[in-house]
């Protein structure tokens, strides 16, 4: 249960990070039968599908390493679903990002944004 | 946006101009190469993208599709890296597209963005000249080879950055000049002139060399058959320019040129008697020149003739008979191989 709470907090941190960097949040936790995307954000004409991974340390590998091929495929499928729903297919530039959020002691966070971490 | 550049691959012993069409559009990011690309060309994806990034150019992720036309020919040249990279930059609007149709690009890229030499540059350059291109861009290693074609500007590239600067007009590149080497006297390691005695054998070889006949030498071990055979190509007349170009083309495709320019000596090939049929005669699904083709305008020496398999000897009969052979049966390109056969075996 504790991990889930951490994950939610990490997503909030990532969303704030994106807002601070001039992104506009289009959707949070976009969930369809094939999968879920943590944050969908827009900056100019680029739409970023963001997977947020929160960790307390790198003992089990970096957070980004946890976004494996299987997970990537799921995110891509979900993104397709989103584009179709909003009638945006082939009309906007897309990008798949991973945001690593490290939970540091004393409720501090470190955010690492990997823009264009993988492709469909 | 759409852009088109030109590259080349080899087919048989000739070059073939390849249209590299690049399209970058909105949509889910991706990078696909279509048009019957070999694994070698598919891997260009990683080389090209990394090379562009390491040349200090950031490309936004887009849905990139690359088509290599004509689509029905297998492309197996890593020299397509450069036209793909240039096409990609043009599709992103980073270099201007209108000038690109006058140039042919042929070089492999390193991850750092450096240009590397490839095999088959000469036939590609010959084809580029025929197709009316103004200039070819090749890696420094390939310059001497590309310069063999008259009336074609050759630019030597160190890296991708240099080419981008040239195409955007930030830097000027001067076409490479042929090295003005003085014509050296032919010097041979093994010279026919060094042979003492052996009058009868020498006379036979002289007649064969003069008339382009085939020779069969029979004798006891140690009689000097191999020694004489190795020296036969030194009494053949020097290659004419056209012949030399043909020979160089073949060696270029076989990847045996290694930065040399024109091959001016007559080739001497001496395959081992365990050689397979294909290695002798060439061919394969991606046709490669065999020993017969490599000995074009030169000497093919079969030492220990009876040790060759019956099959290998049988396949040599056709080129021996009609003086040429096709490198591939189904496709139009063909290769003439005019050569002197020599065979030697000993009675023991």
Q: By the CB < 8 Å criterion, does B58 face chain A?
A: no
Q: With contacts defined as CB-CB under 8 Å, which chain B residues touch A119? A: 28-31, 61
pLDDT digits (tens, 9 = 90+) for B273-306: 888 888 887 777 667 788 888 888 888 888 888 8
Residue B181 within any structural domain of the chain: no
CATH number of the domain where residue B58 is located: 3.30.230.10
What percentage of residues in chain B have a pLDDT greater than 90?
34
Residue B226 in this model has a pLDDT that exceeds 60:
yes
Full residue range of the structural domain in which residue A58 is found? 1-118
Q: By the CB < 8 Å criterion, does A77 face chain B?
A: no
pLDDT of residue B331: 36
The mean-pLDDT minimum among B94-98, B184-188, B192-196 falls in B184-188
Interface pTM, i.e. ipTM: 0.82
**How many Å lie between the alpha carbon of B311 and the closest alpha carbon of chain A?**
51
Residue B313 within any structural domain of the chain: yes
pLDDT of residue B307: 84
Average pLDDT of the segment spanning B150-179: 89
Residue B332 in this model has a pLDDT that exceeds 70:
no
Identify the sign of the CA torsion B47, B52, B55, B61: negative
Residues B80 and B18 placed together within one structural domain of the fold: yes
Q: Mean pLDDT over all residues of chain B?
A: 84
**Whether the model pTM is above 0.90:** no
B280 three-state secondary structure: helix
**How many Å lie between the alpha carbon of B86 and the closest alpha carbon of chain A?**
22
Query: Which of A5-14, B93-102, B229-238 has the highest average model confidence (pLDDT)?
Result: A5-14
pLDDT digits (tens, 9 = 90+) for A1-31: 588 999 999 999 999 999 999 999 999 999 9
pLDDT of residue B186: 59
Residue B280 within any structural domain of the chain: yes
What percentage of residues in chain B have a pLDDT greater than 70?
88
The 3-class secondary structure across A37-99, one letter per residue, is EEEEEEECCEEEEEEEEEECCCCCCCHHHHCCHHHHHHHHHHHHHHHHHCCCCCCCEEEEEEE
Residues B204 and B303 placed together within one structural domain of the fold: yes
Residues B20 and B162 placed together within one structural domain of the fold: yes
pLDDT of residue B235: 87
Q: By the CB < 8 Å criterion, does B30 face chain A?
A: yes
Residue B172 within any structural domain of the chain: no
CATH number of the domain where residue A74 is located: 3.40.1350.10
pLDDT band (50, 70, 90) for residue A119: confident
- Contact criterion met (CB below 8 Å) for A21 and A64: no
- Comparison of pLDDT for B70 and B337, the residue scoring more: B70
Residues B146 and B7 placed together within one structural domain of the fold: yes
Picking from B146, B120, B144, the residue whose alpha carbon sits closest to that of residue B287 is B120
pLDDT digits (tens, 9 = 90+) for A52-63: 999 998 888 899
Q: With contacts defined as CB-CB under 8 Å, which chain B residues touch A116? A: 29, 61
Residue by residue, DSSP assigns B190-254 as S-GGG--S-HHHHHHHHHHHHHT--EEEEE-TTSSHHHHHHTGGGGSPPPPHHHHHHHHHHHHHT
Average pLDDT of the segment spanning B142-147: 90
Residue B284 within any structural domain of the chain: yes
CATH number of the domain where residue B234 is located: 3.40.50.300
* Yes or no, beta carbons of B27 and A94 under 8 Å apart: yes
pLDDT of residue A67: 92
Interface-testing mutation among A93, A114, A116, A118, with chain B (most B C-beta atoms within 10 A) = A93
pLDDT band (50, 70, 90) for residue B328: very low
pLDDT of residue B327: 42
- Count: domains in chain B: 2
Tell me which of B167, B184, B201 is where a domain ends.
B167
Full residue range of the structural domain in which residue B79 is found? 2-167
- Count: domains in chain A: 1
Looking up tokens 């001067």 gives B174
Residue B11 within any structural domain of the chain: yes
Residues B311 and B196 placed together within one structural domain of the fold: yes
Q: Which of B26, B30, B31 sits opposite A93 (nearest CB)?
A: B26
Residue B184 within any structural domain of the chain: no
pLDDT of residue B236: 85
Q: With contacts defined as CB-CB under 8 Å, which chain A residues touch B63? A: 90
Residue B183 within any structural domain of the chain: no
């Amino acid at each position: 249960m504790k991990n889930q709470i951490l994950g939610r907090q990490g997503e909030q941190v990532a969303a704030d990070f994106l807002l601070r960097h001039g992104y506009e949040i289009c959707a949070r936790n976009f969930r369809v039968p094939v999968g879920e995307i943590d944050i969908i954000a827009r900056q100019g004409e680029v739409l970023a599908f963001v997977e947020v991974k929160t960790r307390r340390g790198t003992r089990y590998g970096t957070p980004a390493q946890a976004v494996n091929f299987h997970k990537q495929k799921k995110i891509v499928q979900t993104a397709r679903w989103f584009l179709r729903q909003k009638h945006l297919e082939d009309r906007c530039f897309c990008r798949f990002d991973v945001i690593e959020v490290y939970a540091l002691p004393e409720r501090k966070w470190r955010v690492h944004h990997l823009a264009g971490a993988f492709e469909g | 946006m759409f852009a088109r550049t030109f590259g080349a691959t080899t087919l048989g012993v000739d070059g073939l101009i390849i249209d590299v069409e690049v399209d970058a559009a909105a949509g889910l990011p991706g990078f696909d190469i279509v048009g019957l690309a070999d694994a070698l060309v598919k891997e260009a994806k990683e080389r090209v993208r990394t090379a562009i990034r390491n040349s200090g150019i950031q490309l936004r992720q887009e849905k990139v599709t690359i088509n290599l036309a004509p689509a029905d020919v297998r492309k197996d040249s890593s020299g397509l890296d450069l036209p793909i990279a240039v096409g990609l930059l043009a599709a992103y609007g980073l270099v201007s597209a209108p000038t690109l149709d006058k140039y042919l690009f042929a070089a492999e890229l390193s991850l750092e963005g450096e240009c590397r030499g490839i095999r088959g540059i000469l036939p590609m350059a010959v084809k580029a000249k025929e197709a009316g291109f103004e200039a070819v861009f090749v890696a420094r290693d390939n310059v001497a080879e590309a310069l063999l074609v008259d009336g074609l500007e050759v630019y030597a590239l160190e890296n991708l950055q240099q080419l981008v600067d040239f195409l955007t007009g930030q830097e000027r590149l001067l076409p490479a000049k042929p090295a003005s080497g003085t014509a050296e006297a032919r010097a041979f390691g093994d010279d026919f002139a060094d042979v003492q005695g052996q009058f009868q054998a020498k006379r036979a070889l002289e007649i064969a060399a003069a008339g382009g006949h085939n020779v069969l030498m029979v004798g006891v071990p140690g009689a000097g058959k191999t020694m004489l055979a190795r020296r036969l190509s030194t009494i053949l007349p020097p290659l004419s320019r056209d012949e030399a170009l043909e020979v160089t083309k073949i060696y270029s495709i076989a990847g045996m040129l290694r930065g040399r320019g024109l091959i001016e000596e007559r080739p001497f090939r001496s395959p081992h008697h365990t050689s397979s049929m294909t290695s002798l005669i060439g061919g394969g699904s991606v046709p490669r020149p065999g020993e017969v083709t490599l000995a074009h305008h030169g000497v093919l020496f079969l030492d220990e003739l009876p040790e060759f398999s019956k099959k290998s000897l049988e396949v040599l009969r056709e080129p021996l008979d009609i003086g040429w052979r096709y490198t591939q049966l189904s496709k139009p390109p063909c290769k003439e191989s005019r050569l002197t056969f020599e065979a030697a075996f000993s009675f023991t």
